[in-house]
Amino acid sequence: MAQGSETTWLWIGTAGMLLGMLYFIARGYNVKDERRQKFYIVTTFIAGIAFTNYLAMATGFGVIDLTDIAPWLVGTEFLGDKTELLIYWPRYTDWILTTPLLLYDLALLAGADRNTIATLVGLDVMMILTGLVATLTVSPVNDSIGIGAHRIIWWGVSCGFFLALIFYLFRGLADRASQLSGQTKSTFNTLRYMIVGIWFVYPVWWIVGTEGLGVVGLPIETAGFMVLDLTAKVGFGIILLRSHSVLDDAGTSQAAPA
């Protein structure tokens, strides 16, 4: 069972994702246009997936102690005086499902082709998977490199995929984005810069948190991830769905020949 003040932040995240999901369902309930429905369906699933994963973490189902799996971690330089290393693994099942959907929403808005979408999603999945490897790395104590160094190496690999993703997010969608109308183009740019800005904070927050250098404790780390997740998912959806004219124009852009 999750313990400590971090549980409060997890319940706040659970409630926020639930309210976001219900809001998107209510807002799109009477939408009949198929082009608009795509955005409502994807955005609702983003909040719904995040809700279930936050619920798992808040109820204690989604937390493991790596020292139970790798007892040699206790007493190492990596852990210091700590005797446990709690990992909330549903963060990664959340991210590996929701972040591709966020990119899919953004690509739909720009009218991107399948190859562009596949490239964005592929880079994103590699970024999350290598980040998970960094989190779960528990190399033996007698390793000459050291546990902390192994984790930072995989964190760096994950950041490399992230930088490639950001590069392609601008280069791969540049032509399509330039064809959008005023309001739709403005919304697209807002969401793209929103994703880039927020996603840049995630690896920084990881490296200063308990899974990285341990500069901040678990409650503060949990609160930070919760705020980032709510902004990146519910905030993103609110901005995306606030104007049906934007969604209609996005559908027109997508239907146009390359």
Q: What is the CATH number of the domain that holds 54?
A: 1.20.1070.10
Q: pLDDT at position 256, please?
A: 42
Entry pTM: 0.90
Euclidean distance between CA atoms 47 and 45, whole angstroms: 5
Is there a domain that residue 256 lies in? Answer: no
DSSP states along the chain: ---STHHHHHHHHHHHHHHHHHHHHHHHTT---HHHHHHHHHHHHHHHHHHHHHHHHHTTTTEEEHHHH-GGGTTSTTTTT----EEETHHHHHHHHHHHHHHHHHHHHHT--HHHHHHHHHHHHHHHHHHHHHHH----TT-SS-HHHHHHHHHHHHHHHHHHHHHHHHHTTHHHHHTS-HHHHHHHHHHHHHHHHHHHHHHHHHHHSTTTT--S-HHHHHHHHHHHHHIIIIIHHHHHTT-HHHHHHHHHHHHS--
Nearest to 162 by CA among 208, 130, 188: 130
Cα 32 to Cα 20, 36, 240, 245, 250, distances in angstroms: 21, 8, 17, 14, 16
Per-residue pLDDT at 81: 73
Would 212 be classed as within a structural domain? yes
**257 lies in a domain?**
no
Please indicate, yes or no, if residue 255 is contained in any of the structural domains.
no
Provide the number of structural domains found in the chain. Answer: 1
Task: Find the Cα–Cα–Cα–Cα dihedral 157, 72, 204, 169, rounded to 10°.
Answer: 30
pLDDT of the chain along its 258 residues, tens only? 455 689 999 999 999 999 999 999 999 998 888 888 999 999 999 999 999 999 999 999 888 888 887 777 776 767 777 778 889 999 999 999 999 999 999 999 998 889 999 999 999 999 999 999 999 988 665 555 677 788 899 999 999 999 999 999 998 888 888 888 888 889 999 999 999 999 999 999 999 998 888 899 999 999 999 999 999 999 999 999 988 878 887 745 444 443
Please measure the distance between the N-terminal and C-terminal CA atoms of the chain and give it in whole angstroms.
52
CA-derived radius of gyration, the chain:
20
| Full residue range of the structural domain in which residue 32 is found | 6-247
Neighbour count for residue 106 (Cβ, 10 Å):
23
Please check whether residue 88 lies inside any domain of the structure: yes
- C-alpha dist (Å) from residue 219 to 1, 17, 89, 177, 222: 15, 19, 16, 40, 5
Q: Cβ distance 236 to 104 under 8 Å?
A: no
Token pair in block for residue 35: 């082009």
Residue 252 lies in a domain: no
Evaluate whether residue 59 is within a structural domain: yes
Q: Is residue 19 part of a domain?
A: yes
